[in-house]
Structure 1
Amino acid sequence: MSTVDATRAVNDGADSTTKDQPIFQEISADQAVEVVEIESACMNCFQTGTTRLLPTKIPFFREVVLMSFKCEHCGYTNNEMQSASEIQKNGVRIELQVQKSADLNRRVVRSDNSSISIPEVELEIPVQSQKGEVTTVEGIIERTITGLSQDQEKRRIDHPSEAASIDAYIDRLRQLKELSTPFRVLLEDISGNSFIENLLAPASDPQLKTSHFTRTKEQNEMLGLYEQNHEEQHLLKPIAEDEWPLENLQGEVLQFATNCPECQAPCETNMKLTNIPHFKEVVIMATVCEKCGHKTNEVKSGGGIEPQGVRFKVRIVDKEDLTRDVLKSETCSLAIPELDLDVGPHALCGRFTTVEGLLVAMRDQIDCTLFHDSADDGSKQKMDTFLQTFEDVLKLQRVITLVLEDPAGNTYVQSLSDNDEPDEKLTVERYDRSFEDNEDLGLNDMKTENYEQNAS
């Protein structure tokens, strides 16, 4: 069953009262979550079985549809997870260094479009070879062992040499669970909808490295994303500048239909083109959902990528420092060295706010992590202590430095000094981007010379 079919079944199976509720709700002990049951064919005996669907949200991640099938005739069961989120702009590549037993219990959320490999044992699970699931690192190894162990008894009779090789390989996989030697788990998802738990969240985890990459044409086609061919482009009539000049958009509020990022209910997004004083032109977008009340504001840069990256260091000492205007682009990462906190650019979208608003958004994002429901007491206590420390920062009971680093150079922090005098609490650094920065921004593969000649 596809994600579209699953979502349609949820909508069709909901009554009039649940249709007014968000489609994807968080699992809570205080509130019952509607589970939809539909009849579907059993792939084992082809009789009619029952599929149970639960659309929910994984905190600090994305929306998913949990599906459980059971056939009363033959006893066949099947459980799987499918991502209900949109395909992300970039793919994600995650590398985990497994060194201790706690690493084996890390949660792993993987979609149908993810591949997993363990180089130390030459294990590779290709893209779309398995259904998406919510599991652990140990669960991935155990599932591989179970798959290899199938038909081993018959194989030992018909093909004893091949069976012996498989038994030897299964022993190597079991040694991984015993942690006789450290090993790596490499997860790559072309849709960007996979995730491995960070045990040190909200701090950065030295054993966990996450990077994003631009998909190839073949990978886009695997996801059903096709580029417009050259002939179709000529069929589109370009809008002349005199028909719709850019000046007409200044101060104009445009609306377009979209889905709520929190509950996926249909809603409207307002968009406006405006100028930030002493900076550049930006596009501000705001969305309000009437179903769940979720509000978002997002900022997109109206200009191109700057020649150099920019790094802002803001010393927060008094209340005046919290009132600074901040334009954070979607490529800007945040850090607070005093708290050992590092927030990547994809955690918070681009936004135009204040320093206080940015800190509150960081706190709220951290407060929605996985720890509340399923973590042990030690992890919960650690998270509560960290949140209390964050409250002390907002109350100015602790001095910190907020670092904003944007390799695209499209981030801005207001200076509180008059005229051209330096601001003692604000440091601005321009730096040359590294190869990895240009790769993340897609600049290494961008052709900027003689492209018209080659295109013709």
Structure 2
Amino acid sequence: MANTTSTEEEPLPRMNAGTQMFQDLDSNVSATEIESLCMRCEENGSTKIMLTRIPHFKSIIILSFECPHCGFKNNEVQSGESIQEKGQRYELRCTTRADLSRQIVRNSTSSVAIPELEFSAPPATNSMMTTVEGLISRIMEDLEMDQAQRKDIIPEVYEAVEKLLAGMRGALELPEEEEAGRAFTLVLDDPSGNSYVENLCAPLTDPKLKVHYYRRTREQMIQMGMINPDTEDTDQMAEQAKAQLNMREEMKAAETIMRVAKEASESNEILTFPANCSGCNLPCDTRMQMVDIPHFQQVIIMSTTCDQCGYKSNEVKCGGAISEKGKRITLRIEDKEDLSRDILKSETSSFCIPELDLDMVAGTLGGRFTTIEGLLRQVHDELNLRIPFIDGDSAMEERRNKFKSFLDKLESAADGKLFPLHITVDDPMAHSYIQNIYAPDLDPNMTTEVYERTFDQNEELGLNDINVEDYKEDKQDQPMEE
């Protein structure tokens, strides 16, 4: 991008109090034009800047530079959103031509990889909005740029790049229907959480697309400018100190926290302890309170609010030991009274409503303690705000109408205009709960199924390698070979 500097003759417009900086695409947004330096001929060109929002997605900054002297042009798209709470990694399995047309928002902090071709690319210098085919074609153009020089200077690198280019050309020639051996995986990893890969089955789960959320490492936070690498970070010191604790000390600390939290719950006290904000990493306060749900168990409600960046987070954690078996709860909703039932959806639970074609995988919305009506409205709001590419010229009319019909049905269900419904909450940890209004008697409209967890479920929950026997034994006297 050209070196953009505002001049005194054409200053950037000031935003008055209450003025919305990022406006929707359909609100006649005007671009701001400023004089800037062309990096090719070093003459003055012009850069147009527009702050806008993609419907159902996020705020972006669109920049367009043009030099009238040498004709150089350049366009960029930058994210206008704050850094998300967690990083995101998308894994897309491309098997047909339709997958190559999926739209992608690639932030400048994201890396791209194709494991089948043993290819990985570091974060780019700018953000872009493109398709899978466009992203791979852009990578191929960058690789082909210096091939003529490589052929004469380093022929072995030239051969390796040619082999990689051949693999990418084959990847762009996927058939219309799935064929064995004609597929590849595209991995988009963004620590900022501001990238996106289109879900062709929205609002349902896309079987070809997997989304993973993770905590950022210190190296990733340094790359994004969240931490100064030249100063000793308190978080790093805390992590090093925590790594030196043995199992016995960690268990004693956990027992102390649970004991204090239990005493606080008996006196209805809210605990406040210091923490670091997930958005800006500055110190903030986290409030915690234990709540006893009748006929179920104790849960921990945690709330974090940052006064510096305005970040807010609410979590619900279940107390007690890990259940030996999973639990699946199905409730038949017949009237508005059923919509007011309390529901606890843990982080490990998935839930579905077949009548609405709604199927939410584990981890969606995190832990929630609300009512069935409140859960339906939260799902409606999240899908309405966070599913991009439904509006606009690129959206197919069939998908737009299907998604709008789904949102209307979801809203009607939350308003109590659509009965009967069946909601099923499946939790392999058995930490989810739906209120039984007939307790302690059985609820005629509710069925509970207890089942054995599969090996894959235990592996995902980290239970296969957990050691629950003899973990308190002192092993300092054992030989080093062991």
Fold shared per TM-score above 0.5: yes
Kept after mapping to 2: 8 A contact 1:204/1:340: no
* Gap change, CA 1:353 and 1:363, over 3 Å in 2: same
Select the residue among 419, 431, 443 that pairs with 2:463: 443
Match of 2:202? Answer: 201
- Write the distance in 2 (CA, Å) between the matches of 1:444 and 1:252: 37
Match of 2:397? Answer: 377
Q: What is the CA-CA distance between 1:313 and the residue it aligns to?
A: 1.1
Q: Deviations over 1:207-250 (max 9, x none)?
A: 334456788xxx6655557462248978x9x7978996741354
- Write the distance in 1 (CA, Å) between the matches of 2:190 and 2:241: 25
- Write the distance in 2 (CA, Å) between the matches of 1:245 and 1:366: 35
Match of 1:187? Answer: 187
Select the residue among 447, 452, 460 that pairs with 1:432: 452
Q: What is the CA-CA distance between 1:338 and the residue it aligns to?
A: 3.1
* Paired residue secondary structure (1:228): helix
- The reply on whether 1:405 has 2:426 as its aligned counterpart is yes
- Write the distance in 1 (CA, Å) between the matches of 2:430 and 2:33: 47
* Paired residue secondary structure (2:172): helix
- Write the distance in 2 (CA, Å) between the matches of 1:36 and 1:412: 56
Kept after mapping to 2: 8 A contact 1:21/1:291: no
Question: 1:242-391 counterparts in 2 under 5 A?
Answer: 246-248=262-264, 250-253=267-270, 271-285=288-302, 298-368=315-385, 369-370=387-388, 371-373=390-392, 375-391=395-411
- Write the distance in 2 (CA, Å) between the matches of 1:171 and 1:43: 33
* Paired residue secondary structure (1:138): helix
Match of 2:104? Answer: 107
Count residues with an aligned counterpart: 434
- Write the distance in 1 (CA, Å) between the matches of 2:137 and 2:419: 47
Compute the TM-score of the two structures, normalised by the length of structure 1: 0.73
* Paired residue secondary structure (2:330): strand
Kept after mapping to 2: 8 A contact 1:51/1:67: no
Q: What is the CA-CA distance between 1:441 and the residue it aligns to?
A: 2.7
Q: What is the CA-CA distance between 1:281 and the residue it aligns to?
A: 1.8
Select the residue among 88, 92, 98 that pairs with 1:95: 92
Structure 2 regions of 5+ residues with no counterpart?
2-11, 223-234, 477-482
- Write the distance in 2 (CA, Å) between the matches of 1:161 and 1:59: 47
Kept after mapping to 1: 8 A contact 2:109/2:192: no
* Paired residue secondary structure (1:273): strand
* Gap change, CA 1:77 and 1:314, over 3 Å in 2: same
* Paired residue secondary structure (1:438): helix
Q: What is the CA-CA distance between 1:430 and the residue it aligns to?
A: 2.0
* Gap change, CA 1:311 and 1:214, over 3 Å in 2: farther
Amino acid at match of 1:437: Q
- The reply on whether 1:29 has 2:31 as its aligned counterpart is no
Amino acid at match of 1:124: F
Q: State which structure, 1 or 2, has the greater radius of gyration over its C-alpha atoms.
A: 2
* Gap change, CA 1:43 and 1:78, over 3 Å in 2: farther
Select the residue among 73, 81, 84 that pairs with 2:82: 84
Amino acid at match of 1:17: N
- Choose 392-401 or 348-357, whichever is displaced more: 392-401
Amino acid at match of 1:191: P
Match of 1:116? Answer: 113
Q: What is the CA-CA distance between 1:455 and the residue it aligns to?
A: 8.3
Identity %: 32
* Gap change, CA 1:170 and 1:93, over 3 Å in 2: closer
Kept after mapping to 1: 8 A contact 2:348/2:429: yes
* Gap change, CA 1:293 and 1:48, over 3 Å in 2: same
* Gap change, CA 1:190 and 1:143, over 3 Å in 2: closer
Kept after mapping to 1: 8 A contact 2:33/2:46: no
Kept after mapping to 2: 8 A contact 1:214/1:442: no
Q: Deviations over 1:324-343 (max 9, x none)?
A: 11111222222122333211
Q: Deviations over 1:329-371 (max 9, x none)?
A: 2222221223332112333132221111111222222222221
Match of 1:174? Answer: 169
Q: What is the CA-CA distance between 1:198 and the residue it aligns to?
A: 0.7
Kept after mapping to 2: 8 A contact 1:108/1:137: no
| RMSD across aligned positions (CA) | 5.1
- Write the distance in 1 (CA, Å) between the matches of 2:13 and 2:346: 39
- Write the distance in 2 (CA, Å) between the matches of 1:245 and 1:203: 39
Kept after mapping to 1: 8 A contact 2:48/2:64: yes
- The reply on whether 1:416 has 2:437 as its aligned counterpart is yes
Q: Deviations over 1:269-322 (max 9, x none)?
A: 764332111122223346899999999754232334333222111112222221
- Write the distance in 2 (CA, Å) between the matches of 1:436 and 1:42: 56
Match of 2:240? Answer: 229
Match of 2:145? Answer: 150
- Write the distance in 2 (CA, Å) between the matches of 1:46 and 1:455: 69
* Gap change, CA 1:147 and 1:253, over 3 Å in 2: same
Compute the TM-score of the two structures, normalised by the length of structure 2: 0.70
- Write the distance in 1 (CA, Å) between the matches of 2:198 and 2:391: 14
Q: Deviations over 1:183-221 (max 9, x none)?
A: 222315373835321111012223334456788xxx665
Amino acid at match of 1:372: D
* Gap change, CA 1:362 and 1:175, over 3 Å in 2: same
* Gap change, CA 1:305 and 1:130, over 3 Å in 2: farther
- Write the distance in 2 (CA, Å) between the matches of 1:33 and 1:260: 35
Match of 1:4? Answer: none
* Gap change, CA 1:185 and 1:57, over 3 Å in 2: farther
